[in-house]
Amino acid sequence: MSEGGLLLALLAAATLRGAAPLVLAALGGLFSERSGVVDIGLEGKMLAAAFAAAATAAVTGSAWTGLLAAIGASVLVSLVHGYACITHRGDQVVSGMALNITMSGLTAMLGLAWFREGGQTPLLGAGARFTPIALPAVDTLTPVPLLGRVYGEVLSGHNALVYLAAAAVPLVAWLVYRTRFGLRLRAVGEAPGAVDTAGISVSSVRYRAVIASGVLCGLAGAYLSIAHHASFIRDMSAGKGYLALAALIFGQWRPVPTVGACLLFALADAVQTRLQGTPLPLVGVIPVQFIQALPYALTVCLLGGFVGRAVAPRAIGVPYVKER
């Protein structure tokens, strides 16, 4: 195959790697937002999880304990969000923002104080992080034209969390659309009063949704620090939480379109990394910043109703008051 084919394969593989944390975080946000709780705190949860994962993995030398710690930290942040927004009916956006800012400071501070490497955690060895795994039967499929290439160079050779992200998509779609919990979740986000009348606790459903968001953001954060990179770097989420939120809105709060948006944003990023400084026919060199800004600009256009229409869950952002 030609050089172009190789480039495409590299781009596709980079897209999958870049999309994995976005997919995990966006699907987490989907649970929370479909239940009516705005989840601006994706960023903070990812950051907390990334730090917890790297710190734990550095101390214990095990990637899986790191992953557990990441989920624990992220769920804890989720529960604070739930306590403020569900129990005390606080402003959900303010709470999310507060948690993002707190986590940005807290992770940097603890990282510096505990590891004394300028806010980073120590570099992790192979056992303490998720390393690329080859899918079965790669070698037997390699001679097959096209398919072998796609399987061997695009799909194989990622770390476990990328495959986990891929598995999470059908799982979340099934949970949200095909289970009793999913029905209640969607109902609580549209008409909490009706759910309450049916004798189901709105708070309990929302708490479970917020915890689900915590678990998935925990995976997303762990991906950043112990799979994609080999240590925690301060503010390493670098806006990915907001990007995931944008993808969630772009995907109109539905699992499959949301994942599509994540892939689109990750593709833009992969193209930008590859194209840096290379002139394109007709347009010349596209400034890096232009491609970086693309996901945000697209989301604004969508929100403005210029590209489709984003219809949010009806009860989103509104605390539920049982009795007045």
Partner 1 sequence: MSARATGTASGAGGHGRRRWRARREWLVEALLPLINLAVALALSALVVLLVGESPARALSLLAAGALGSGEAIGYTLYYATSFVFTGLAVAVAFHGGLFNIGAEGQAYVGGLGVGLLCLAAGSWPSGFVVAGAVMAAAAFGAAWAFVPAWLQARRGSHIVITTIMFNFLASSLMTYLLVNVLIKPGQQSPETREFAPSTWLPQLHGVLGALGWGLGQSPLNLATVLALAACVLVWFYLWHTRWGYALRALGKSETAAVYGGIRPARTVIAAMCISGALAGLMSLNEVMGVQHRLMLNFVGGAGYVGIAVSLMGRNHPAGIVLAAILFGALYQGGSELSFDVPTLTRDIVVVIQGLIILVCGALEHALRRPLLWLVRPHARAGPSAPLAHHGS
Question: Residue written as tokens 């709470």?
Answer: 95
Q: Of 40 and 210, which has the nearer Cβ to partner 1?
A: 40
Residues in a beta bridge with 280: 284
- Taking the complex as a whole, the smallest distance from the CB of residue 268 to partner 1 amounts, in Å, to 12
Q: Which two tokens stand for residue 234?
A: 């301060």
CB of 289 to partner 1, least distance (A): 4
| Nearest distance, CB of residue 102 and partner 1, angstroms | 3
Q: CB of residue 205 vs partner 1: minimum separation in angstroms? A: 19
Residue number, 219 or 245, with CB nearest to partner 1: 245
> Residues in the site for partner 1, rule: CB under 8 A?
38, 40, 80, 84-85, 87-95, 97-106, 108-110, 112-114, 116, 239, 242, 245-246, 249, 287, 289-290, 292-293, 296-297, 299-300, 303-305, 310, 312, 316-319
- 249's CB contacts (< 8 A; 6+ apart) are 299, 302, 303, 310, 312
For 21, 25, 61, the CA distances from 123, given in Å and listed in that order, are 20, 24, 11
Report CA-CA distances (Å) from 134 to 131, 139, 157. Answer: 10, 10, 5
The minimum distance between CB 199 and partner 1, in angstroms, equals: 26
Q: Which of 316, 80, 310 is nearest to 192 (CA)?
A: 316
Q: Which is nearer to partner 1, 10 or 112 (CB)?
A: 112
User: Quick one: tokens of 63?
Assistant: 């990637």
User: What CA–CA distance (Å, rounded) separates 265 from 290?
Assistant: 13
Residue 33 half-sphere exposure toward CB, CA atoms < 13 A? 28
Alpha-carbon span 25 to 33, nearest angstrom:
12
CB of 309 to partner 1, least distance (A): 9
Cβ closest to partner 1, residue 257 vs residue 317 = 317
Nearer to partner 1 (CB atom), residue 231 or residue 299: 299
Smallest gap, in angstroms, from Cβ of residue 277 to partner 1?
Answer: 12
Nearer to partner 1 among residue 37 and residue 216 (C-beta)? 37
Nearer to partner 1, 149 or 234 (CB): 234
* Cβ neighbour number for residue 179 with a 10 Å cutoff: 11
Q: At CB < 8 A and 24+ separation, what contacts does 296-305 make?
A: 296/246, 298/250, 298/264, 299/246, 299/249, 299/250, 302/249, 302/250, 303/249
Task: Provide, rounded to whole angstroms, the least separation between the CB of residue 62 and partner 1.
Answer: 23
Residue 182 vs 317, nearer CB to partner 1: 317
CA pair distance 295, 90, nearest whole angstrom: 30
Task: Name the phi and psi angles at 37, rounded to 5.
Answer: -110, 115
